[in-house]
């Protein structure tokens, strides 16, 4: 049970909804000591030179197809609105299930507190032509979905990456869906496409079921979904027409010849960190990977036998990790200078998803959505270390090497390796 609780993408925050937190709101009231100019909390914008757009893509083939949100460098789109952060009420229902809340209660709470939150990327903005951008595939954590790591994905896109945030259909997302044809007897409601959403909700462990077995099976599907997303973006890049079953006015032809097919990486948080490792072992086109506060339980024993040759960066929070988990990371990365581990001091497991930005300081810390470090500083350390690592191992001609010291754990609020006390190494 302890291991399960530690693994959950949202686990430290199980209580924050039960407590009816008044600080979780895009228009949250100011807290004592806050700046008079700070009127509300929101997800931070990208700090790079590019404006950022985003669009959703779902292929056919029902549940076996791909579903992702693409973040990309965009033209300045003053007429485009920011994308909704949580786009469907069914995601609120899925989060409620995941958090063991009544759906009717959870849906109302989420709608009230975060229903108006947007992510700072312009929906369906025109793709910015003229460059070849490296590609980053992103994998979400347990109980999460494609939209709630937008602070990370938007920053990467603003720095010149195309980012495909996969929504996994292995029943590890709190909710996801695919589109199927409506039966003739069903009314044609808002859409005239003849399609309806078939929702897939998070599957809880059954009584007596071994978690490791389920998670290992899921992580293999997740890795295949990351590889499918990679293949899909490369098809679009080559000029092949891909059918998007979602209503969108985004011009997918504009992406043609804009992806640097020699510079591809994979990144993920928690269960997504395990997915990074599994993906690297299965797909050599991923030249490197970044695992944010990785949960190692799903990783198969075979992976430790030299299955991951590519460079790998572990970025851990101070409060989430434990000795057995760290020892598995070290087993994977021992005697390889291209595999690094750093820890962001003052951070928690929730310092990586977006919920840390839409909760007030006092409330966020009480319910472990925030650590002792400012959330913006924590995400900057993570993003800057990631960019420096990607520059080195994707051979990018950027200025991200200004943050090389972070990859070695040198700088404010970061240490090399781990803060966890480990047992002494046994003599060989």
Catalytic residue check, 140: no
| Catalytic (active site) residue 349 | yes
**Dihedral of the CA atoms 202, 204, 205, 207 (nearest 10)?**
-150
Q: Which of 11, 174, 270, 333 is catalytic?
A: 270
> Does the active-site annotation cover 270?
yes
Which is the catalytic residue, given 56, 97, 170, 293? 293
Catalytic, out of 140, 349, 384, 393: 349
Q: How many distinct helices (H) and strands (E) make up the chain?
A: 11, 13
Q: What stretch of H or E contains 291? A: strand 288-292
Question: What burial letters (b/e) apply to 182-211, b meaning 16+ CB within 10 Å?
Answer: eeeeeeeeeeeeebbeeebbbeeeeeeeee
Strand pairing category for 259-269 and 288-292: parallel
| Spatial separation of the C-alpha atoms in residues 140 and 269, rounded to whole Å | 6
Helix (H, G, I), strand (E, B) or coil at 316: strand
Cα distances from 10 to residues 16, 270, 347, 355, in angstroms, run 10, 10, 14, 9
- DSSP β-bridge partners for residue 71: 54, 163
Tell me the catalytic residues: 270, 293, 349
């Amino acid at each position: 049970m302890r291991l399960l609780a530690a693994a959950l993408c949202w686990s430290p925050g199980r209580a924050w909804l039960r407590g009816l937190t008044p600080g979780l709101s895009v228009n949250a009231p100011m807290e004592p000591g806050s700046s008079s100019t700070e009127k509300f909390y929101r997800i931070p914008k990208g700090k790079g030179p590019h404006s950022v757009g985003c669009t959703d893509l779902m292929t056919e083939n029902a549940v076996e197809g791909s579903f992702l949100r693409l973040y990309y460098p965009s033209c300045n789109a003053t007429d485009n609105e920011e994308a909704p952060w949580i786009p469907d009420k069914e995601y609120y229902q899925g989060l409620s299930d995941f958090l063991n809340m009544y759906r009717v209660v959870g849906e109302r709470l989420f709608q009230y507190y975060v229903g108006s939150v947007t992510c700072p990327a312009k929906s369906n903005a025109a793709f910015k032509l003229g460059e070849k951008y490296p590609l980053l595939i992103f994998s979400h954590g347990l109980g999460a979905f494609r939209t709630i790591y937008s602070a990370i994905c938007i920053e990467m896109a603003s720095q010149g990456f195309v980012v495909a945030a996969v929504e996994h259909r292995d029943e590890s997302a709190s909710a996801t869906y695919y589109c199927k044809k409506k039966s003739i007897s069903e009314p044609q409601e808002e859409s005239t496409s003849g399609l309806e959403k078939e929702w897939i909700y998070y599957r809880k462990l059954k009584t007596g079921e071994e978690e490791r077995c389920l998670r290992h099976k899921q992580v293999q599907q997740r890795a295949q979904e990351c590889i499918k997303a990679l293949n899909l973006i490369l098809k679009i890049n080559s000029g092949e027409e891909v059918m998007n079953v979602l209503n969108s006015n985004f011009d997918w032809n504009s992406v043609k010849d804009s992806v640097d097919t020699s510079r591809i990486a994979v990144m993920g948080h928690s269960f997504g960190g395990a997915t990074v490792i599994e993906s690297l072992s299965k797909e050599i086109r991923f030249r490197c990977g970044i695992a944010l506060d990785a949960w190692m339980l799903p990783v198969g024993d075979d992976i430790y036998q030299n299955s991951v040759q590519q460079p790998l960066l572990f970025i851990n929070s101070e409060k989430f990790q434990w000795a057995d988990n760290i020892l598995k990371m070290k087993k994977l990365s021992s005697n390889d200078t291209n595999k690094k581990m750093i820890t962001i001091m003052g951070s928690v497991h929730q310092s990586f998803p977006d919920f840390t930005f839409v909760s007030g300081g006092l409330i966020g810390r009480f319910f472990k959505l925030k650590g002792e470090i400012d959330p913006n500083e924590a995400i900057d350390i993570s993003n800057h270390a990631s960019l420096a690592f990607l520059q080195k191992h994707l051979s990018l001609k950027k200025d991200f090497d200004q943050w090389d010291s972070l990859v070695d754990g040198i700088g404010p609020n970061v240490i090399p390796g781990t803060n966890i006390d480990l047992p002494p190494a046994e003599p060989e």
